[in-house]
Amino acid sequence: MLKHQLVHPEINAILARAGHHSKILIADGNYPASTKRGPNAELVCLNLSPGVVTCAQVLRAILSAVPVDHVNIMGIPADDPYARHGEPPVWNDYRQVLKEARLKTKLEPILKWDFYKAVESADHVLTIQTADQALWANVLLTMGCRT
């Protein structure tokens, strides 16, 4: 019986095979998960219906199961119309999840097109497609090592 919050068998199996520096993408409902992923990445779809499940819910479960060194979010280009609205509210949700997990890791933005390039790396092992409707909710995790 698992003691952490992540009980999805396929996701647990993928994470168990992954190692230090492996990348995990938690994708929102708008992310093109079928085309924007690394050559070694497996896709797990958790998009049941609009808003179910959210990226923050998946983040909380993943952080209960594996060590994480970096948390990257998709940064908003200055010329994007959303940039005028300031920071997306979902980013504060992520900060709260990191705090609850007792991680000192900060959110590190990577501009949209560079984010796609980071996801397409050979280190990308897993995309978890959610149905999150929040804008700019994509999160790219870099696994740490067990100490």
CA gyration radius, the chain: 14
Q: Calculate what percentage of the chain has a pLDDT beyond 90.
A: 92
In this prediction, residue 115 carries a pLDDT of 98
Mean pLDDT, range 120-124, rounded to an integer = 97
Domains along the sequence of the chain with CATH: 9-141 (3.40.1650.10)
In this prediction, residue 2 carries a pLDDT of 81
Quick check: 93 pLDDT over 90?
yes
Quick check: 130 pLDDT over 80?
yes
Q: Report which of 110, 94, 101 is spatially closest to residue 54, judged by C-alpha positions.
A: 94
Q: Which residues of 135-146 are buried (b: 16+ CB within 10 A; e: fewer)?
A: ebbbbbbbbbee
